[in-house]
Amino acid sequence: MNILKSTFSTKYNTAPFSKINTEDFKPAIIHCIEEAKSEIDTITNNEEAATFENTIEALEYSGEQLDRVTSIFFNLNSAETNEDIQKIAQEVSPLLSEFSNDITLNEGLFKRVKAVYDIKDTLNLTTEQQTLLDKKYKSFSRNGANLPEDDKQKLRAIDKELSQLKLKFGENVLAETNAFELLITDESDLSGLPEGAKEAAKQMAEAKGKQGWMITLDYPSYIPFMTYADSRALREQLSKAFGSKGFKNNDLDNQNIVLRIAALRYQRAQLLGYNTHAHFVLEERMAETPEKVQEFLNDLLEKSKPAAEREFKALENFANKLDGIDTLQKWDSAYYSEKLKQELFNLDDEKLKPYFKLENVIDGAFETATKLFGLHFKEVNDIDKYHEDVLTYEVLNDDGDLVSIFYADFFPRPGKRNGAWMTSFKPQMVKNNVNERPHVSIVCNFTKPTKSKPSLLTFNEVRTLFHEFGHALHGMLADTTYPSLSGTNVYWDFVELPSQVLENWCYEKETLELFAKHYETGELIPMELVEKIKESATFNEGIQTLRQLSFGLLDMSWHGIDPTSITNVKQHEEKAFESTQLYPDVTSNCMSTAFSHIFQGGYSSGYYSYKWAEVLDADAFEYFKEEGIFNKEVANKFKDNVLSRGGTENPMTLYKRFRGQAPKPEALLKRAGLIS
């Protein structure tokens, strides 16, 4: 199959997964790089004076084919990888990093971009064109275009090494996850585990050709065991295996990789004239500076810590009273929290699960999008997919026009990394007067159906599905001219607003009535359970807030300082966690060595943005509640000013246009029960 093109002869120009051979990728990517280079040369060598059209727009639309092929390739590397794909990723990542540097360090090209930038006030540009021009200019100035030649070479070397280290970090985490198996042969060791989880564990063992029940570090296996299994010794074993990923001084150890990534990011920032990596990153964020982030995190810490300590004490007393536990350990956290929640609210996740059959929850998310934004989802079977589990949909508006293609991939498998994420296979843009519609995907890891039960979700998983679907709506409803400003291409601390705001609908009676029906009887979820879900929403919110803040503070501790003197990852981490620690430390465990968000993904100096976006989402949802959660007018304001506008304007400008005011943190603190 020849994948050397951005347009495929498929329905809606979708990716022809079944016709792509893994060995096609490397030559295709090399070919696309060469083609993109020649497009750049055409712009650079143009003898006409530089204009917005022949330089900035031409640059924006260059490399379209390369972007298309690499998005397909790297999405597969996350969701359906194998050794061959990983090997190719290691080989092509430096080439892509080198090509990216070829652009930003190209003096002739930068001269033309700067020539347009210098006369921008005379060009009568639209707001979106101004944003694009600023973004293109900064992509050069922030990535070394003004550096002397020897420093440019240093930058190239740093970027090349970073691209390989980040991949290696992720591969090690995935390999450690896949390497661990807890085979249980004595059924009494499964005491407390729900029937569905036992059945899934039996199925997993059978799939591996073994007798008994198998527990793995994949979330659908790990989380139920940590939440319900009565065997404290086995919970400890599992927790230590989970917490020691990349921290075993073996071939898959990530300690030196963490130290090297942090040091290289710092060197890179210094080379570009920034104090630290965080200063570099935050210049392009709503938060603007590391000082503001620290202030934001510390302010929330001060407000949530007393509640967290009270909650922790209550949990400790409860565990002591129930089982005589003197010291609560990390592997007791989910177990006793669940037991205490059941006692306080008489709310058992297992009793809720029959009302959350995956297919019904998907329909509920779709129905929510229909009521809010007039979208209609039609499952189709004539679009190619990369795995049989993937579901494919046409997304249409009220007039029957195509809005987006949507892929949904819900179950764990060996070639897929843990967690949940949204991504895209093709961006939205307007080119040659045609509004190209996006191809959007969400990837999750939910419990697979068993022989006797469909896939039944915990309430937490329902929230996860709505969260990723919120990101997907941001991608689907994109309506901008330029691909680099489209959909989720926004400031990183704004990107979580659409996803986190949609989670709020899960708690509302009007939404739950759309889909929370018992999978066997069709009975609607009893309203007292809905009330309990709402009541329990703030259960242990202080502890949860402290946990999120600890991750944000750890991130800043690696990236908001000069990390070059750090030699011991574990010791550094302990210091970063001092102000947020509730549980005793576990010597064999380390967070940083498996903290993929910041060492593999795009969240370095940005983990705080989850909490930042919570302030926005609580404030935004307050507006919906004032007017009615399915109020069309508010939904249209959200669609027109946030979801469809992408990164075309400063996010605070967009937010204020939707809300009529700046966000207030009180809404979040009130919702979390941290203030009355």
How large is the average pLDDT for residues 539-568? 97
Proportion of the chain above pLDDT 70, given as a percent: 99
Burial of 21 (0-12, 13-18, 19+ CB in 10 A): exposed
DSSP secondary structure letter of residue 50: P
- CA gyration radius for the chain? 25
Instruction: Mention every residue, 6+ apart, whose C-beta is less than 8 A from residue 537.
Output: 507, 671
Phi and psi at 524, nearest 5°, equal: -70, 145
pLDDT at 4 over 70: no
User: Measuring CA to CA, how many Å separate 457 from each of 312, 349, 384, 649?
Assistant: 27, 9, 27, 38
Residue 391 contacts residue 408 (beta carbons within 8 Å) = yes
Q: Which residue do the tokens 């092509």 mark?
A: 92
The per-residue pLDDT for 425 is 97
284-334 pLDDT per residue, tens: 999 999 999 999 999 999 999 999 999 999 999 999 999 999 999 999 999
The per-residue pLDDT for 5 is 54
Q: Which of 176, 468, 496, 503 is catalytic?
A: 468
377-417 pLDDT per residue, tens: 999 999 999 999 999 999 999 999 999 999 999 999 999 98
The per-residue pLDDT for 530 is 86
Res. 2 pLDDT band, cuts 50 70 90: low
pLDDT at 1 over 50: no
- Residue 623 has, within 13 A of its CA and on its CB side, a CA count of 23
DSSP secondary structure letter of residue 523: P
Res. 3 pLDDT band, cuts 50 70 90: low
Query: What is the C-alpha separation between 382 and 364, in angstroms, rounded?
Result: 24
pLDDT at 6 over 80: no
Regarding predicted confidence, which is higher, 669 or 375? 375
Whether 60 is a known active-site residue: answer no
476-523 pLDDT per residue, tens: 999 999 999 999 999 988 999 999 999 999 999 999 999 999 999 999
What percent helix, strand, coil does the chain show, rounded to 5? 60, 5, 35
Regarding predicted confidence, which is higher, 672 or 629? 629
Which sequence spans correspond to the domains of the chain?
11-104+106-146, 180-243
341-370 pLDDT per residue, tens: 999 998 888 889 999 999 999 999 999 999
What superfamily in CATH does domain 11-104+106-146 come from? Endopeptidase. Chain P; domain 1 (1.20.1050.40)
pLDDT at 601 over 90: no
Q: What is the DSSP string of 440-506?
A: EEEE--PPPP-SS---B--HHHHHHHHHHHHHHHHHHT---SSGGGSTT-S-TTTTTHHHHHHHGGG
